[in-house]
Amino acid sequence: MSESLQYPHRRFNPLRRQWVLVSPHRTARPWQGEVNPTSGFSDVHYDPACYLCPGNTRAGGHLTPKYESVYVFDNDYAALLPDSPEPQRRDAPELLRADRERGRCRVLCFHPDHSLTLARMSVPDIRRVVDAWTEEYRTLGAEPDFRYVQIFENRGPMMGASNPHPHGQIWTTEHIPDEPQAETDSLRDYRATRGTCLLCDYAALETREKVRIVAQNDSFLAVVPWWAVWPFETLVLAKRHLRSLLDFTDAERDALAGILKQLTTRYDNLFETSFPYTMGFHQAPTDGDPHDEWHFHAHFYPPLLRSATVRKYMVGFEMLGMPQRDITPESAAERLQSLPETHFMDRR
């Protein structure tokens, strides 16, 4: 890596067409800020008070069946509703604009065992989650009122997870949300001007440079992207140009399960804790257009910075100016890549 990159500089994110400030010299500063409790692992396989454990009554009063694999249901306290009315009259002031947003919110339990996380699940079990994600994307994306299907997981209380049971969410929206819309515009413009796929080209570049790769298999590449904002942020890229989960072969579904296992295990091994993060897939909108410009990828946004108890906050300059990070993406990738693929709890 160039010596000049050890000094403050900014990097461009071509997906969002935004800049991030990198300040490597700040890693030496003392920390007297908030210290959070560690995210420990549970040894409770069934919690009678957990509304996602098999056979329990959920917070909304519905009974969770005694499922043995994955389980999907409509969120009892959904942020979106399929029949929302128009929010205001037609003659409302332009500066007070509001639009209707219909949608559905689904919850996907990854496993009946309350104690597990993706990092602690087997690859075959994660593959069943991949199959469920694929079917949800297929089914929800076919509904004519919804133009985007967002699959995501909030892992750990630090990221706002309201329940420790292994689960994720799937939201559908009437309009394409801001983040995937910005990526759609960037991918489409890049293809129109260069005739190639932005993320295909980026994956090829990272494969050549090798300095930001964390893990890979035959079908997927996990890197700390050049433009990473969060300390140990990663981007999981399909090596083949796949628009969505629906384009995957059987082998690629296995490979996605495998790379998720590799990456989340390395996260846990970094500080030997149950590593918090927000993870989500970005893939082709379901608005009826072919979206040949789209390239399937996953974003991992983990907050931990120095240890299992010190997190990165997006405040001050980050909120008022632009995103900023301390450690370089290259040093973050080197640390993650050097970690073993065997979970630290299994090594004990």
% the chain with pLDDT above 70: 95
pTM of this prediction exceeds 0.85: yes
pLDDT at 29 over 60: no
- For residues 236-253, give the mean pLDDT: 98
Q: How far lies 216's CA from each of 127, 195, 239, 299, 337, in Å?
A: 17, 26, 10, 15, 10
Q: How far lies 47's CA from each of 6, 51, 56, 76, 278, in Å?
A: 48, 9, 9, 19, 24
pLDDT value of position 162:
83
pLDDT at 31 over 60: no
Cα separation, 170 vs 78, in Å, equals 11
Q: CB-hemisphere CA count at 13 Å for 229?
A: 18
Segment 289-318, tens digit of pLDDT: 999 999 999 999 999 988 888 888 899 999
Segment 69-94, tens digit of pLDDT: 999 999 999 999 999 888 877 788 88
Distance of CA 264 to the CA centre of its chain: 11
Q: Answer yes or no: 167 catalytic.
A: yes
pLDDT at 27 over 70: no
Cα separation, 340 vs 347, in Å, equals 10
Segment 113-160, tens digit of pLDDT: 999 999 999 999 999 999 999 999 999 999 999 999 999 999 998 888
- Helix extents (H) in 168-323: 178-194, 198-209, 250-271, 317-320
Residue from 127, 114, 117 nearest 159 by CA: 117
Tokens in use for 85?
């009315």
Q: Which of 111, 114, 165, 167 is an active site residue?
A: 167
CATH class of domain segment(s) 38-80+100-347? alpha beta
pLDDT at 30 over 70: no
